[in-house]
Structure 1
């Protein structure tokens, strides 16, 4: 029974950590993009004045950073719950 509750807590903590990491990653990508390109990254609701290459680059960079942040957050949350369980 303890394994099930631990797995549930691990999933909940991992989900929360991944969500926070995704928000932070999105903000970081936006800030870095603005610093390097001079404007915010293109969004889907933008009119269409952005080059296709810029849209593809923004999507690829954002997706990669978000995926890495979520994985690292989930792994960190798993380690934290494992440490708390061992106490």
Structure 2
């Protein structure tokens, strides 16, 4: 029982770290693509509101959130598969 709890905790912590890193990378990728397409960085909440059109804010938010969500789902699935494989290898007799 303790071994299962440890594995579960390790999988959760690993998943959290991987999901955070992948979300950060997805955000950076969207920023880079946005800058390449439009010539400037996507709008941020701290930017001066008078210089930004609402349509641009909505588009940036939608694209960024979609990219981050997809990346987190893929990272979570990959982490679960990895944790399952590690758990299976731990249980094999040697």
Q: Which has the higher contact order (CA 8 A, sep 6+)?
A: 1
Larger Rg: 2
CA distance in 1, matches of 2:74, 2:26: 12
Deviations 1:37-70 (A, max 9, x none): 1110000000011100000000011011111111
Quote the residue 1:82 is aligned against.
84
**How many pairs align?**
87
Shift of 1:72: 0.7
Structure 1, unpaired ranges of 5+: none
RMSD: 0.9
Structure 2, unpaired ranges of 5+: 90-94
TM-score (norm 1): 0.94
Quote the residue 1:4 is aligned against.
5
Quote the residue 2:61 is aligned against.
59
4+ runs deviating over 3 angstroms: none
